[in-house]
Amino acid sequence: MGNDIKNINEALDNATGKFHLKTFLTAGMGFFTDAYDLFIIGTVIAILPMVGWSLTTTDKALIGSTSLIAAVVGALTFGRLLDYLGRKAVYGLELVLLVIGAIGSALLSFKNPAVLIGWRFLLGIGIGGDYATSSVIMAEYSNIKTRGKYVGSILSMQSIGLVVSSLIALAFLLNATVIPLAYAWKILLIVGAVPPMFVIYYRRKMPEPPRYTVARGDAKKAAENLKNYTGLDVNVSGDHEKVNAPWYTLFKDRKFLITLIGTAGAWFLMDWAFYGNSIMSNDIFKFVITQTGLAGLIRSTEYSALIFTVAALPGYWLATFTLDKIGRKPIQVIGFVMLAVTYGILALFPVLDTVSHVDEFLVIYGISYFFMMFGPNVTTFVYPPEVFPVTTRGLGSGISAAGGKTGAFIGTFVDVFIIASGLSLLMTILAIFAIAATIITVLCLPEPKGRAIEEVSRESQYITTKQ
């Protein structure tokens, strides 16, 4: 590896400092909001018919899933722009779209499902952009020893968004006589615009990550940004080297293509289960509750809050703080295996999906959420920015996230219809998906633990001297 590229990368690979925390907070607040916006819509969908909206089953499916297919567009677009224009040029713009989409959804829908779907599409583009950008930027500022923890922490902010969304929704439902549901759903949506407003400025002020700048051939600017943002002082010679790995490298290099199949494929299968189950949770819990109407919605929201708090949240953070000890691949395999087991139990014993066995259902279903988080939900996010070269890292991460959100969209849209045929059918499909994802993980993905990202991504093979 060239001297300047090597020196900049090694400085960051071994660095510690407050800049890690600053980068995490700037990126992580976006993921808190992403989770809130994506999962609060399930409660909103349940409220809308109670306040005079006429919704067909297809309307409900599209309102719940449109932001996810839009996230595919956002992830691919921002991922490519991240490499083509640079990280600084686009970082923060995704949150602008998210804010506009959240406000429009709340205030400018006019009881028209098509208009609400349009605003949710814009919001989803911003969410997809956040998936492509934040993981890359955090990975490029991280060191070898704690990279998994910091990149995983960004995704794990999603756990707080999950819990907050369910608790806020529950608070409004329990106080429907104080704040009528006709206003409550609007407030629930507009809350999602508030947190990103506070971090747009800080994202726009962040300098270009030095790893990217030096890889593009500007060692002096990379050293300047490194000094200003991290306090690290590295001497560079301006030796005119760069990483020459254009976007099509991901498809021409057989190893990168296999890795891309692994990152995008595993994420696709995981997100089908995660988003389908979470956004459609009210429909799933109908199998194990007797209440209907507002009372039924309150009870299902209580169950969601319980599972998110007791099972999902600790799973996220346990994965985050053990990634650099256990490794990404073992955690992902363990998670998928346990998903296959728990979904398989619910599929083989449909009696568990009934009112008389609600406690048993909640325990097994809760275990599935724990191992989804202490497993592939965190690792599929951490993997992409670690395994692709710096000049294609945005696109590789964007394609991987797009794979995940494609699965999320299909799962959320199709699950509405699958659940109508019985919960055991859905659990059978998800168990098969978990087995397939385990095989993909074993065959296609490397182990980045304890290795520099430039080593894992084989950047040295693409270094050339700039003429």
Supply the DSSP string of 281-294, one letter for each residue.
Answer: HHHHHGGG----HH
With the CA atoms of 5, 92, 319 and 309 taken in that order, what torsion angle do they form, in degrees rounded to the nearest 10? 170
pLDDT of res. 238:
79
pLDDT of res. 90:
97
Instruction: State the Cα–Cα distance between residues 423 and 354, nearest whole angstrom.
Output: 10
The CATH code for residues 3-461 is 1.20.1250.20
Instruction: State the Cα–Cα distance between residues 43 and 185, nearest whole angstrom.
Output: 8
The per-residue b/e assignment along 431-444, b for 16 or more CB within 10 angstroms, e otherwise, is: bebbbbbbebbeeb
CB 55 within 8 A of CB 48: yes
- What number of other Cβ atoms are within 10 A of residue 349's Cβ? 15
Per the listing, tokens 């301006």 go with 238
Return phi, psi of residue 438, to 5°.
-60, -45
pLDDT of res. 416:
87
- By residue count, the chain amounts to 467
pLDDT of res. 310:
97
* pTM over 0.85, yes/no: yes
Cα torsion angle, 227, 144, 322, 362, sign? positive
pLDDT of res. 277:
93
Residues in the chain predicted with pLDDT less than 70, given as ranges, are 1-2, 466-467
pLDDT of res. 129:
97
Pick the closest to residue 173 from 365, 363, 43, 41 (CA basis): 43
Residue 87: both structure tokens together: 């990280």
Residue 173: both structure tokens together: 């439902």
Residue spans of the domains in the chain: they are: 3-461
458: which DSSP letter? T
Amino acid code (one letter) for 30: G
Share of residues in the chain with pLDDT > 70 (%):
99
pLDDT of res. 73:
98
Residue pLDDT, tens place only, 225-235: 999 999 999 99
pLDDT of res. 177:
93
CB 364 within 8 A of CB 311: no
Longest CA pairwise span in the chain (Å): 74
Pick the closest to residue 215 from 236, 200, 188, 197 (CA basis): 236
Return phi, psi of residue 385, to 5°.
-70, -10
